[in-house]
Amino acid sequence: MLNTLTNALCVSLQMYGRYTQELGVYAKEEAARLRESGQRRSVSDRSRTLDLLEYDKGRCAKCRTQKWMYGGLDSNVFLQYLAWVTYPVVLITFSAGFTQILAPQAVGSGIPEMKTILRGVVLKEYLTFKTFVAKVIGLTCALGSGMPLGKEGPFVHIASLCAALLSKFMSLFGGIYENESRNIEMLAAACAVGVGCCFAAPIGGVLFSIEVTSTFFAVRNYWRGFFAATFSAFIFRVLAVWNRDEETITALFKTRFRLDFPFDLQELPAFAVIGIASGFGGALFVYLNRLIVQFIRKQKAINRFLMKKRLLYPALVTLLVSTLTFPPGFGQFMAGKLTQKESLVTLLDNRTWAKQGIAEEFDYIGQSQAWKHPQVNVFVTLVLFIVMKFWMSALATTIPVPCGAFMPVFVIGAAFGRLVGESMAAWFPDGIHTDGTIYPIVPGGYAVVGAAALSGAVTHTVSTAVIVFELTGQISHILPVMIAVILANAVAQSLQPSLYDSIIRIKKLPYLPELGWGHHEYYNIRVEDIMVRDVRYITLNCTYRDLHNVLLTGHLKTLALVESAESMILLGSIERAQLQSLLSLQLGRPRRLEYIKERATAEKKRLSVVSNPSSDDGSHRASQEVRFQVRGHCRSRIDRMESHPFHLCLMGCNLRKIAPQTTERIAEWEEMQLDEQVNFNNCKIDPAPFQLVERTSLHKTHTIFSLLGLDHAYVTSIGRLIGVVSLKELRKAIEGSVTVKGVKVRPPLASFRDSGTSSSENEATELHKLWDRHKSMSLPREHTPSESDEKSQ
């Protein structure tokens, strides 16, 4: 194991060395090389890769600091600036370019995509080996640039990629890995691993991944997540020990707050204030992030320009951010020279920076010095840091590189907490507690609370509380953290969607919005109000022509199969692909060849004396070859645009090279074939598609859809198909009645109904109809009551 580790390390270091090469060229070379090598490489162990990634990042950050600090550029500010700016611009540009060329799916956090995939939607390109490579290399460079970018989202994605590739690899050996629900379970565990080894927080990782990716969670997966996350966190931290960075396994950002009196009860209002303010801040962050994306999309001039030079936007943003953080410039007022990790370490420090309001008294050691400015108060530095980092992070996370937003938000939250804490410390220099002992206020504790609250508000999770405990190795502030996180969540959830849901909407991924709280109307809206009544269906005794027509008009993936157009009794559903193959089977090559052979034999018999049989055979072979070619062509086109029915294209193609007489005959034959009744024998039918009743409430429908990961459900009334509801309708209905501004698109019938006293009446009427129908319509096959008596006795 150690051997492979060192090997992998060497590779990554070698890779690192190449960064100084011409990057554009290298990116293209690398991309081409990888594209060719394809899936050849074996999938390495999941957690190990992630740890290496983490490891790389640390090294990059170190090199970066070294490069600048000991670069001998102290004398010349301009050279210093050039070095400070060039480095991140080159790295980000390379990362953006590499990702763009190799796998554009690797851009961004990956959590929204994972949420969609775990919801049951297939997004296949997001779990390929190419995406894996692009994500790993792109992320390494992006993090090394020192921009305010996070890594927890990409880690989740990378872990899921590992799991998916591992499943694919293992399924070669057969067995349990072939089962698809097993793969979903693997992915759920992988998400936990991703967060777990990012923060060395196994418990928080599991919980965070559950909150972020799931709507309903199978408790039996819980154990698996813990197992995987514990080992990933363990190996991640063990590497630090082996590397002699640490003496033993401890927390990543260890704090040393006092244990006997962590905080006073009277400080709780201050913590609550942090929570509420973080809630507003979190909502603002999500809003700002969405605004930037939408602004850039809308401005057509900018957009066209940026599209042409795809790498310009990342470069420009990086240039702006790194210019503003340049330490001798504006950066001196916002601790610009600290990396993200260093900022966090200093913010969580247990010493007070501003004793009695005078910042100078504190003995700033090491990196904490960055926060001290000779002219400016430490409060101003903190406020500037928060404000600048806030918009910078919101802007930086829109760059098309693999990156998350958790860590930047976490740091901003910590800075905000620290600000409140320092203010409290300045306000109550001797602490609040009045009985005897003096317990000064610990601003570091406020920083922990702020970090958890803001990151919780942005992601709409409560488990950030657990993450901070595991990250700092101290749990003494549990109550303040919990209270702040809950308040932050309450505020943020009522203002904005979570960052991940926001990205899902921006990217237009298929999703199901969560039901908000206290919307009682969900109980009053019924499925019948939102369903599509004009359902595409096929009957059991339909012809191929019907099939063809249905395939031509609709775009649904599955079609309902009913007994007959009158009874409309739902028998099952058939996938579009199945129907297409039925059609192509009916009109396909083998049957066509057979027909042609038959015709040829008949012709031969007729013309056996007149013509030369060998020439006929030759032309037959030629036409056959041509047809084969166009067939291949058609097939790929069909695969691309599935809605196109198969045989039309075939007909069109055939018209070119074949004699008009033959064409006519074939067309005739095709018409004949189309009038035959469909034989469903070789067709896979789902005999129990999910059914709802027309009176099911929207609330219940939502629950069922998210529980079972449904894509659509048929609405039946006592066996008869009367409508269909898909994710789209459901989404519209929920958002329609949720929208705060604008017109409420409430279903037209919803208001006519009250709490449901008339429900039994309606049902009775409905049944009455059926009963009457049954009596009148199906009389021919009705039997005498005595007969049914015998049966049921």
Beta bridge partners of 543: 677
Site residues (CB under 8 A) for a copy of itself, limited to 211-230: 211, 214-220, 222-223, 226-227, 230
- The string of DSSP letters for 565-612 reads TTT-BEEEEEEHHHHHHHHHHHHSHHHHHHHHHHHHHHHHHHHTTTS-
Site residues (CB under 8 A) for a copy of itself, limited to 668-707: 675, 677, 680-688, 691-693, 696, 699-700, 703-704, 707
Instruction: Map residues 242-261 to x or -, x wherever contact with a copy of itself holds by CB under 8 A.
Output: -----xxxxx--x-x--xxx
Which secondary structure element, helix H or strand E, spans residue 386, and what is its range? Answer: helix 378-396
Pick between residue 493 and residue 584 the one whose CB is nearest to a copy of itself.
Answer: 493
The C-alpha atoms of residue 454 and residue 530 are separated, in whole angstroms, by 37
Pick between residue 88 and residue 431 the one whose CB is nearest to a copy of itself.
Answer: 431
Site residues (CB under 8 A) for a copy of itself, limited to 38-97: none
Smallest distance, a copy of itself to C-beta of residue 359, A: 28
Smallest distance, a copy of itself to C-beta of residue 241, A: 6
- The string of DSSP letters for 153-209 reads HHHHHHHHHHHHHHHHHHGGG-GGGG-HHHHHHHHHHHHHHHHHHHHT-HHHHHHHH
Site residues (CB under 8 A) for a copy of itself, limited to 408-447: 433, 435
Count the residues of the shown chain that bind a copy of itself, applying the rule CB under 8 A.
Answer: 131
Interface with a copy of itself, residue 712, by CB under 8 A: no
Which region, left, alpha or beta, applies to residue 351 given φ > 0 means left and ψ of -120 to 50 means alpha? Answer: beta
Q: What angle do CA 471, 477, 480 make, to 5 degrees?
A: 115
Interface with a copy of itself, residue 273, by CB under 8 A: no
Interface with a copy of itself, residue 521, by CB under 8 A: no
Smallest distance, a copy of itself to C-beta of residue 443, A: 17
Q: What is the 3-state secondary structure (H, E, C) of 31-67?
A: HHHHHHHCCCCCCCCHHHHHHHHHHHHHHHHHHHHHH
> Whose CA is closest to 738, among 730, 749, 728, 727?
730
Q: Which of 65, 81, 168, 264: binder of a copy of itself (CB under 8 A)?
A: 264
Q: Mark the segment that binds a copy of itself (CB under 8 A) among 282-290, 464-472, 586-594, 728-736.
A: 464-472
The C-alpha atoms of residue 597 and residue 620 are separated, in whole angstroms, by 9
Smallest distance, a copy of itself to C-beta of residue 335, A: 26
Interface with a copy of itself, residue 500, by CB under 8 A: no
Site residues (CB under 8 A) for a copy of itself, limited to 183-212: 202-203, 207, 210-211
Interface with a copy of itself, residue 262, by CB under 8 A: yes
> Whose CA is closest to 208, among 467, 590, 21, 482?
467
Interface with a copy of itself, residue 661, by CB under 8 A: no
Instruction: Map residues 744-773 to x or -, x wherever contact with a copy of itself holds by CB under 8 A.
Output: -----------x----x--xx-xxx-xx--
SS3 of 537, please? Answer: strand
**Structural contact between residues 208 and 463, judged by C-beta atoms closer than 8 angstroms:** yes
Pick between residue 93 and residue 578 the one whose CB is nearest to a copy of itself.
Answer: 578
- CA-to-CA separations, 166 to 84, 103, 163, 178, 228, in angstroms, rounded: 40, 19, 5, 12, 14
Phi, psi of 697 (to 5 degrees): -75, 160
The C-alpha atoms of residue 412 and residue 389 are separated, in whole angstroms, by 7
Site residues (CB under 8 A) for a copy of itself, limited to 563-592: 563-566, 569-572
- Residue corresponding to tokens 């260093």: 342
Instruction: Map residues 147-186 to x or -, x wherever contact with a copy of itself holds by CB under 8 A.
Output: ----------------------------xx-xx-x-----
Pick between residue 8 and residue 569 the one whose CB is nearest to a copy of itself.
Answer: 569
Fill in the amino acid letter for 379: F
Pick between residue 170 and residue 292 the one whose CB is nearest to a copy of itself.
Answer: 170
Q: Mark the segment that binds a copy of itself (CB under 8 A) among 143-151, 404-412, 513-521, 646-654.
A: 513-521
Fill in the amino acid letter for 433: H
- CA-to-CA separations, 39 to 32, 260, 490, 679, in angstroms, rounded: 13, 56, 46, 41
Q: Which of 5, 63, 83, 238: binder of a copy of itself (CB under 8 A)?
A: 238
Between β-strands 558-562 and 570-575, what pairing exists: parallel, antiparallel or unpaired?
A: antiparallel
Interface with a copy of itself, residue 638, by CB under 8 A: no
Smallest distance, a copy of itself to C-beta of residue 184, A: 11
Fill in the amino acid letter for 450: G
Which secondary structure element, helix H or strand E, spans residue 712, and what is its range? Answer: strand 712-717
Pick between residue 590 and residue 687 the one whose CB is nearest to a copy of itself.
Answer: 687
Site residues (CB under 8 A) for a copy of itself, limited to 312-331: none
Interface with a copy of itself, residue 777, by CB under 8 A: yes
Q: Mark the segment that binds a copy of itself (CB under 8 A) among 241-249, 311-319, 441-449, 580-588.
A: 241-249
Phi, psi of 435 (to 5 degrees): -85, 105
Site residues (CB under 8 A) for a copy of itself, limited to 528-567: 537-543, 545-546, 549-550, 563-566
Interface with a copy of itself, residue 716, by CB under 8 A: yes
Phi, psi of 561 (to 5 degrees): -110, 120
- CA-to-CA separations, 139 to 33, 37, 38, 90, in angstroms, rounded: 19, 21, 20, 14
Handedness of CA 790, 791, 792, 793 (dihedral sign): positive
Site residues (CB under 8 A) for a copy of itself, limited to 470-489: 470, 473-476, 478-479, 482-483, 486, 489
Pick between residue 86 and residue 179 the one whose CB is nearest to a copy of itself.
Answer: 179
Smallest distance, a copy of itself to C-beta of residue 236, A: 11
Smallest distance, a copy of itself to C-beta of residue 664, A: 24
Pick between residue 241 and residue 659 the one whose CB is nearest to a copy of itself.
Answer: 241
Interface with a copy of itself, residue 232, by CB under 8 A: no
Pick between residue 594 and residue 782 the one whose CB is nearest to a copy of itself.
Answer: 782
Pick between residue 65 and residue 703 the one whose CB is nearest to a copy of itself.
Answer: 703
Which secondary structure element, helix H or strand E, spans residue 654, and what is its range? Answer: helix 646-657
Pick between residue 125 and residue 686 the one whose CB is nearest to a copy of itself.
Answer: 686
Beta bridge partners of 647: none
